Amino acid sequence: MTGGSGAVELQPPPPLPFRLLPLPPDGGTNWDPASVAIPLNVRLDGCICPSEASAEGARIAYSHAVVLDDFVDDSTRSALLSFLLHGGSGGASGGGDGSTPLMGNSGEAGSGERWQQQRADGAGCQLPADRWERRTTDMAGAAPTWGVKQHVLRELAEGRLPAMQEVHARLCRLYPECDISHLPADAIQLQSHSQAEAQQAQQTQQAQQAQQHQTQMQGRVAAEAAGGAERPQQPPDAQHPQQQQQQQQQADDDDAHGPPAKRSRLERGGGLADGEAAAGVDCACFVANAAVAGDTFRFHVDADPTSFPDGSPWHAAYGDYFNGEPGRPLLVSLLLYLNDEWRRDWGADTLFLDGQTDTGVFVTPRPGRAVLFDQDILHRVSPPSAAAGGRPRFSLVWKLALLPRAPGQALCLARPEWGPPASIGSAARVDAVKRQLAAERRLAAAQQLATTRQQQQQQQQQQQQQQDGPEY
């Protein structure tokens, strides 16, 4: 159970090469987090899990999913889509509305009608071949679907796009109590001997950087307390040099030396049915999808810290822990729907599943809508319906780590100002057990009180009898 009073004070783990989200040059955004509408705020996957932060050695864990409407404005959304389709800054090139003349055997420009001309199996859907490939899968053996190429992902990760920086700034506004970094994918991989040696050699440097960072943080917290200062921008090249090199190498392998292995969305198949086993670790900190009618998608989790390899730097720093452990990075995904129009009957909802009860929730794409969810939650895209007429449903997913600033600091996607999240499936079941236990505790306490009072009364009576002396 979650220990309210007796939490154990933990030392911060050794630093990893976290790369904070690049922010706009002026450091901020005018966006007001209070302007966001929250049509869904739920928790699933309720369980009791081990916890070092709790005096009892265990806590109740949930996975959260939150929908934020109007999280991004239309120019940011269309700039992101335009970048995925055409490159550039995503701002001025236009046509980033999901109905640009990129597809179609007819080569006709025009309205969304041209999507109707595509075959419904996705294979006839032509996204720009220099940026998109049909090679993304939810797990080994699953049919490939559209995803952006490695060099596009790399550009995204560089964080120079103003639209990306705006999204980052909004996210930081939403969660001011923590730092937010890209998921350090390399740290989650098993390392070769030479990589491990190089990693070790850079530990000192990282420790120094972490120290600097902490000093900056303290300064910033003090400055914010004094006058609402913004976060300083993290320069894009603040990335770990080894990581840059590895990414470059990976890109070279991808772009110049033949096709890479299929890119999988799956990192761990926790709670999956038979035949839906995990398929290894996906190292991308972004995924961009274009789901088309006829695609198949499988339930997967984006990442789960209970399953990172024993020999990985992440495991060395944090060990096995359940996502949401106080004082540990909280792994979350940010999903943005990018189409300029998406009708309900076009399908392509995102589905979230409580694996213990086979119940869940769905989220219909809407322009400007974002979904934030804990990465260990089972979810999948559902394919667009035939009514979508071959239109691709675009989404961009950030794999993130929310970093606590203090030992034992608990982080949660569901903000207190949004009210308590609704519990679904096993989360509701755990809540019921919690209520039952609380009721039993209250009853036991009441009984104890009654017994104590009774004993006191008896004592008083005895004392009174002794004072009064024997009755003759």
List contacts with ligand AKG (CB under 6 A). 265, 287, 289, 302, 335, 350, 379, 381, 395, 397
395 binds, among ligand AKG, Fe ion, none (CB under 5 to 8 A by kind): ligand AKG
Q: By the 8 A CB rule, do 170 and 152 touch? A: no
For 381, the token pair is 């895209």
Which of Fe ion, ligand AKG, none does residue 400 bind to, with CB < 5 to 8 Å depending on kind? none
The helix/strand/coil state of 124 is coil
For 472, other C-beta atoms within 10 Å of its C-beta total 3
Residues in the chain: 472
Handedness of CA 170, 175, 179, 185 (dihedral sign): negative
Taking a C-beta distance cutoff of 8 angstroms, is the pair 95, 79 a contact?
A: no
Residue with Cβ nearer ligand AKG (40 or 49)? 40
Which of Fe ion, ligand AKG, none binds 399 (CB below 5-8 Å, type-dependent)?
none
Cα Rg of the chain, angstroms: 26
Nearest residue (CB) to ligand AKG, 76 versus 191 = 76
| Shortest Cβ 87–Fe ion spacing (Å) | 24
Q: Provide the mask over 184-223, with x wherever binding to Fe ion is found by CB under 5 A and - wherever it is not.
A: ----------------------------------------
Supply angle C-alpha 134, 136, 142, rounded to 5.
105
**Residue placing its CB nearer to Fe ion in the complex, 102 or 334:** 334
Whether the CB-CB separation of 83 and 166 falls below 8 Å is answered with no
From candidates 213, 231, 265, 268, binder to Fe ion by CB under 5 A: 265
Query: Residue 424 or residue 428: which is nearer to ligand AKG going by CB?
Result: 424
335 binds, among ligand AKG, Fe ion, none (CB under 5 to 8 A by kind): ligand AKG
Between residues 139 and 161, which has the closer beta carbon with respect to ligand AKG?
139
- With binding defined as CB under 5 A, does residue 267 bind Fe ion? no
- Tokens linked to 395: 């989404």
Shortest separation between residue 138's beta carbon and ligand AKG, angstroms: 8
* Measured distance CA(140)–CA(280) in Å, rounded: 8
How many residues bind Fe ion, per CB under 5 A?
2
Asked whether 301 and 376 are in contact (CB, 8 A), the reply is yes
Q: How far is the CB of 92 from ligand AKG (least distance, A)?
A: 26
- Would you say the C-alpha torsion 23, 29, 33, 37 has a positive or negative sign? negative
Q: Which stretch binds Fe ion (CB under 5 A): 192-200, 257-265, 272-280, 320-328?
A: 257-265
- Alpha-carbon distance of 285 to 155, in angstroms, equals 12
Lateral strand order in the sheet of 350-354: 359-363, 350-354, 378-381
Judged by CB under 5 A, which of 302, 304, 349, 374 binds Fe ion? Answer: 302
Residue 240 Cα distances to 119, 202, 205, 279, angstroms: 44, 9, 10, 27
Residue 381: CB minimum distance to ligand AKG, A: 4
Whichever of 16 and 153 has its CB closer to ligand AKG, that residue is: 153
Closer CB to ligand AKG, 60 or 337, in the complex: 337
152 neighbors 286 (Cβ within 8 angstroms) = no
Query: Which of 53/142 has CB closer to ligand AKG?
Result: 142
State the binding partner of 289 from ligand AKG, Fe ion, none, CB within 5 to 8 A by kind. Answer: ligand AKG
Nearest distance from C-beta of residue 302 to Fe ion, angstroms? 5
The three-point CA angle 137-252-163 to 5° equals 65
Give the nearest distance from C-beta 41 to ligand AKG in angstroms: 18
Q: What is the C-alpha separation between 425 and 418, in angstroms, rounded?
A: 21
Nearer to ligand AKG, 53 or 349 (CB): 349
Distance of closest approach, residue 377 Cβ to Fe ion, in angstroms:
9
DSSP 396-421: EEEEEEEE-SSTT----SS-GGG-PP
Contact residues for Fe ion, defined by CB under 5 A: 265, 302
